[in-house]
Amino acid sequence: MKRIIAIFSVVLVFLLTGCKTNQLSRIGIISAMDNEIELLLQDAKIDHVDKIGTVDYHVGTLHGKPVVISRSGIGKVYASSGATTMLNKYNISKLIFTGIAGGVSDETEVLDVVVATKLVEHDYGILTNDKFEWVSGDPGFSDEPGTYYESDKDLVNLAYNSSIEVIGENHSFKGVIATGDQFIASETYVQELKDNYNAYACEMEGVSIAKVCMNYNVPYVVIRALSDKADGNAHDSYENFGDIAASNSSKIVLKMLESL
């Protein structure tokens, strides 16, 4: 009887962990949109595709490295859902988020690249009749003015050096990236992002990746190529440069894989 119970316990643990302990360790790569991973999928050797909900998880190798590649969808909810599913389903050793963003810093121009040293959720807080007050993104409210989520330093340096190799030092930056569920096309709000958070870029998914990876103790990095300057011309700039920026971000990921 004891032997049967022991065998049953092992099988139960095996099932509850989703067999992850026996899976090959893989690098997770997530984007929000199809054009942000198109180049990666073209270069990858995909063994199979797991469809979980409406999201396709492409399992295979890229530059000889075992990977899982997926498009989560746009916004914090889709990004957190996609990252959580990937980390639950696969044995992910590190996670790379690749894609495009709006430029915020005066130092950057369209098609430059920003690697997030920290991420901040700029639209989380208290909205009163008088103003919006930014507060901590952690559960509950705290006395701190807000929370920054730090990326893995080794991955940040690797991504930054890879960016220099791909597009040059003058077009590669490291800094804060601000996340919120809005496509920013406002000079006024861009100034607020600079003043309040010292942001270099703004986008809609990065903090979600950071929070999920921190919960799972998985190192992560967010890489953003700038498709626009988040100003009044943002929509036109995105239409003209979105695909080019997305391709540049993917090329940096490919360069990173040579050293991972």
| Residue-wise pLDDT tens digits, 62-120 | 999 999 999 999 999 999 999 999 999 999 999 999 999 999 999 999 999 999 999 99
Residue 13 has pLDDT above 50, yes or no: no
**DSSP assignment of the chain, as one string?**
-HHHHHHHHHHHHHHHTTTGGGSPPEEEEEESSGGGTHHHHHHSEEEEEEEETTEEEEEEEETTEEEEEEE--SSHHHHHHHHHHHHHHS-EEEEEEEEEEEE-STT--TT-EEEEEEEEETT-EEE-SS-EEE--SSSS--SSS--EEEPPHHHHHHHHHHHHHHH-GGGEEEEEEEE-SS----HHHHHHHHHHH-EEEEESSHHHHHHHHHHHT--EEEEEEEEE-SSTTHHHHHHHHHHHHHHHHHHHHHHHHTT-
Global pTM value: 0.86
Q: Are 36 and 203 in contact (CB under 8 A)?
A: no
Percent of the chain with pLDDT over 70: 85
Q: Which band of pLDDT confidence, cut at 50, 70 and 90, is reported for residue 213?
A: very high
Residues catalogued as catalytic:
36, 228
CATH 3.40.50.1580 correct for 23-257 = yes
Query: Which residues make Cβ contacts (< 8 Å) with residue 70, sequence separation at least 6?
Result: 28, 29, 30, 31, 37, 55, 56, 57, 58, 82, 86
- Classify 18 in phi/psi space as left (phi over 0), alpha (psi -120 to 50) or beta: left
Q: How far is CA 11 from CA 14, 15, 19, 48, in A?
A: 5, 6, 10, 26
For 114-163, the pLDDT digits (tens) are 999 999 999 988 888 988 888 765 544 444 445 899 999 999 999 999 99
Q: Which band of pLDDT confidence, cut at 50, 70 and 90, is reported for residue 20?
A: low
Strands 92-103 and 220-228: parallel
Note the pLDDT of residue 232: 72
